[in-house]
Structure 1
Amino acid sequence: MSQVDGQIPAAAPAAAEDAAGRTVRGWLVPAIIGSALLMQTLNATVLHNALPTMAEALGEEPLRLNLAITMYLLAAAVFLPISGWAADKFGAKRVFVASIVLYAFSSAACGFADSLSELVIARLVQGVAGAMMMPVGRLVLLRTTPKNELVGAMSVLTMPALLGPVIGPVLGGAIVTFGDWRWIFFMNLPIAVVGLGLVLRFVPNVAEQQVARLDVIGLLLTGLGLAGLIFGFENLGRDIMPAWAVACLFGGGFGCAAMYWLHARRNPDAILDLSLFKVQTFTAAVVGGSFMRFAMGATPFLLAMLLQIGFGFTPFQAGLLTFMSAAGALIMKTTAPPILRRFGFKRVLIINAVIVAASFMAYGLFRPSWPQWAIMAVLLVGGFFRSLQFTSLNGLAYADVDQPQMSRASTMSSMFQQLNQSIGIGLAATLLHLFMTWSGQPQMTADTIAPAFMVFGVLSLVSLAFFVRLPRSAGDEMNGRTRED
């Protein structure tokens, strides 16, 4: 049989099979994993835009509804440390499939909730499922993709997930304006069914041959520490808990973190590998990048409050505006690899950090008198450069990490990202409360919301202290740069 007949020559089946495998690993698997993650990003962006309407339906203050976001992030942060171990023990594909199923069931529970307490409980379960999705999905790529192809593979991975922020604000605004807010959770069910089928069919199972015993003590210390810190930020300055109780939360959180540091020094199989912070590029990306991620976690929440409560827009109107930020991020995905090859990680991170900080501050200048096209233009530009920074940080984090440490590096990076979002939202709610108190306003207004963007813009500039110390060649293996470049 000839090649003209469309058949593979008998002498080259292995080569053809290997080429097909590379094709699948190159774009199909990242796209499928990213499609499964669409549930998370879609749900998050829809929920931010729906908070004021949900608060009214449940008889709660809008600021109280941020508990539904914070508790999800809390559960995700607490259970993230176990995700890498579970993937090694039971297989990445098995864990990924289980997380999709659990996410779908908990989404249905959120949709049937009749009170804030029921919603928070369902969101906690949803956070446990979400804790397994991103790190385990990323782990498949890290173990099957060469480093010089990793930036491109991660861009493919995040493109389907970015559809959530693009269509989420508009879809969420339409649902709560013209329908029932419960459908923001029910719509996850068909996505879960399709994603589950694709994962079962195409995503390979990646497992370690040797798995260390689960570090139960480390898991408890990290879980209690993260819970204390997140609840501390959640209640800071709110007058919901007495000051001594908030201080105890912070003290317990930092105390558990210190105890874990002592525990990890004596335990080579600790649940979180602290030796990763000896890798400069990993520390710069994960720790230095945290200051920008604080603002990224807070921005959707703050924009929903500003546009709907401050400006009086409907959720649908607000969604039409804020989706431009995600549209800019989606446009950037095709340009990030060539930008990084041309200028390198260090230069991009330094210059872009200033641009991103300026974009956060520009959001605080929005006023109801601004034409909508001007607001959309600022959001589009801000989304583009913010996504470039996010892609750069994600790639740089794994530039100098050895293959045996990839599982723990993925877990550590994901845990920091979830924690950063929790801190960002908690800090945003605290700032809103403080600005209301200082101005003597009983309710949120545009004037009490806008200054929060300025605070986050300044805070994001702290990351420059980490980026300027990087060598000029940092991450060059990831993007194919040479010294001549």
Structure 2
Amino acid sequence: MIVAVPMFLQAVDTSILGTALQSIAVSLNVEILRLNFAITAYLLSLALFLPASGWLTDRFGTRRVFCSAIAIFSLASALCGAATSITQIVLFRILQGLGGAMMVPVGRLILLRSIPPGQLVMAMLWFTVPGTIGRVLGPLLGGFIVTLASWRWIFLLNIPFGVLGILLALKFVPDSKSEKKERFDIAGFVLVAIGLSGMVCGLETIGRNLVPWNATVLIMGMGIVASICYWIYGRNRTGVIIPLGIFRYKAFSIANLGGVPLRIVVGAAPVFVPLLLQVGVGFTPVQSGLATAWLSIGAFAIRPIMRRAISKFGFKLLMIAATVLSGAAFAVFGLFSRGMSIYLMYVVLFVAGIANSSGMVAMNTVGFCGIPKAILSKATALSTMMQQTTMSFGVALCALCLSVTAQIHGHSAENLTTRDFQIAFFLVGALSLLSVVAFIRLPADEGSELR
């Protein structure tokens, strides 16, 4: 539970910001979709620095890296709370992502190294409980804060929790280092950084009139070229920042590559559902926070029976069912309107929370089946990196769809309507069903030793 404190911090930070976007946009006098950069910058920063987390942990020890990461995250949160422009928020969110990149994989690595396979499902469930609580509290806190006080407090709230996490870690978390000292792969790190940032930033600027179209093509082209170069550079090497040989393990490959479309939906929901409820349906920040909390209530409600469900149905069937439900629920979000029963909205959000949580827990557990302990730290870093990158893709893709649909309907992104959300949510929800194609390839008995 102590090493899961960062999950709570990140969950609160992401979900609370989605509820407060409109208030921040009014305060800073910027277009609301431009604030998407604040979310994407954090997620992208996470993805960029995550590859280094495995090497840092092996080199300097779990406890030192863990505590330093929480300290950086908390400091950056304080700076975000003092920011006076969107540029400052984006820069401080990048610093915050640097801290966040080292928190979660270290905690997960401690679990994977110390928990017997037969208890790993329950350990992963408990590991995600603080994150689920954070996602419940985030929208509620965000709604009350922007209504009763300033949006700046949404960042300042992280500080006391960060201090508590550091004190508990110093007292209870054991310190461990790898006996094998490897050189840091600078060339690989640079290629991965350029590849990820180029593709995400390119996706961010398509159709948004933020930069000339040829600049967008150049940015995305650089990202694609750098990614190809890293694949050529690292496919037959073992000492690289991200050993591509990990993808030869079938369960890891299916859970992480095949799960990309599903994670896009899971990443976009906490950000754009509150935006839909406030801008499209007309909810106040408190009302949208109460409604969005049902996503997390559903995620929390499935916890007591999750182990039994995995034991009875297996990882494969559970992942397929969760994907279908998640995609369908995300598409239905677009049908939310001023005339719809609020209780019906709660039911849809509750079911979506159950589906999202079931899929994520199953993927995050079965993906590590058969991974040798020698490469477990890098596998953990790679898996977490792919999750965060996919979520940044989800936020950017949903924002792109909203921007394009607004232009099709003949108005700017500053005046979003319910119709804009309908098309965007349907497209992104349908995209998630591609994960079913990948999950079908998973052997029916995969992960049996964990059940």
Aligned residue in 1 for 2:424 = 452
Correspondence for 2:201 among 231, 237, 251: 231
Aligned identity (percent) is: 38
1:202-225 superposed Cα distances (whole Å, 9 cap, x missing partner): 111122111211101000100111
Code of the aligned partner of 2:427? V
State how 1:401-420 maps to structure 2 within 5 Å. Answer: 401-420=371-390
Amino acid aligned to 1:459: L
One-letter amino acid matched to 1:54: I
1:266 Cα deviation from its structure 2 partner:
4.6
TM-score by length of 2: 0.98
1:384 and 2:354 are equivalent in the alignment: yes
Could you tell me which residue of structure 2 aligns to residue 398 of structure 1?
368
Equivalences for residues 334-413 of structure 1 within 5 A = 334-413=304-383
Name the counterpart of 1:478.
450
| Match of residue 249 from structure 2 | 279
Distance 2:376 2:117 in 1: 11
- Residue of structure 2 in register with 1:111 after alignment: 81
Letter of the aligned partner of 2:26 in structure 1?
Answer: E
- CA-CA distance at 1:389 after TM superposition: 0.6
Answer yes or no: is 1:302 the counterpart of 2:297.
Answer: no
Query: More displaced, 312-321 or 295-304?
Result: 295-304
Q: How much does 1:109 deviate?
A: 0.2
Amino acid at match of 1:248: L
Superposed CA offset, 1:98-139 (max 9, x none): 001111111100000011111111111001000101111111
For residues 157-210 of structure 1, what are the alpha-carbon distances to aligned partners after superposition, in whole Å with 9 as ceiling and x for unaligned?
Answer: 110121111011011100001111110011111111111111111111122111
Within 5 Å, which residues of 2 pair with 1:38-57?
38-57=8-27
- Matched with 1:11 is none
Equivalent residue, structure 2, for 1:23: none
SS of alignment partner, residue 395 of structure 2: helix
Residue of structure 2 equivalent to 1:145: 115
Amino acid at match of 1:294: I
Unaligned runs of 5+ in 1: 1-30, 480-485
Partners of 1:46 and 1:127 lie apart in 2 by 16
1: CA distance between counterparts of 2:45 and 2:443?
36
**TM score, norm. by length of structure 1:** 0.91
- Deviation beyond 6 Å, 4+ runs, structure 1: none
Q: Is the 8 A contact 1:84 1:411 kept in 2?
A: yes
Deviations 1:49-108, CA, capped at 9 Å, x for gaps: 100100100111111111110111111111110000000000011100000111111110
In structure 2, the partner of 1:86 is 56
C-alpha separation in 1, matches of 2:263 and 2:354: 15
> What secondary structure does 2:368 align onto?
coil
Are the counterparts in 2 of residues 36 and 191 from structure 1 also a CA contact under 8 Å? no
| Displacement after TM superposition at 1:356 (Å) | 1.7
How far apart are the structure 2 equivalents of 1:206 and 1:138? 14
Instruction: Give 1:28-177 correspondences, 5 Å limit.
Output: 31-177=1-147
Paired residue for 1:4?
none
Residues 237 and 243, structure 2, Cα contact 8 Å, conserved in 1: no
Residue type at the aligned position of 1:191 = F
What is residue 178 of structure 1 aligned with on the other side? 148
- 2:394 and 2:181 mapped to 1: Cα distance? 34
* Contact 2:44-2:97 at 8 Å conserved across structures: yes
2:399: which partner in 1?
429
8 Å contact kept, 1:305–1:449: no
1:321–1:375 Cα contact (<8 Å) kept: yes
CA distance in 1, matches of 2:101, 2:310: 29
Larger Rg: 1
How far did residue 439 of structure 1 move? 1.0
Structure-2 separation of matches of 1:266 and 1:169 = 45
**Quick check: 1:439 aligned with 2:409?**
yes
**CA deviation profile, 1:222-269 (whole Å, cap 9, x unmatched):** 011111011011111112111111111111111111111111135320
Q: Does structure 2 conserve the Cα–Cα contact (< 8 Å) formed by 1:306 and 1:450?
A: no
Q: Which moved more, 1:122-131 or 1:232-241?
A: 232-241
Which residue matches 1:15?
A: none
**Which runs of 5 or more residues in structure 2 are unaligned?**
none
Cα distance in 2 for residues equivalent to 1:355 and 1:100 = 35
Which of 220, 233, 245 is residue 250 of structure 1 equivalent to? 220
In the alignment, residue 447 of structure 1 is paired with which amino acid? R
Cα distance between partner residues in 2 of 1:70 and 1:249 = 16
Cα separation, 2, equivalents of 1:259 and 1:78: 16
Count of equivalent residues: 449
* CA distance in 2: counterparts of 1:46 and 1:355, whole angstroms: 25
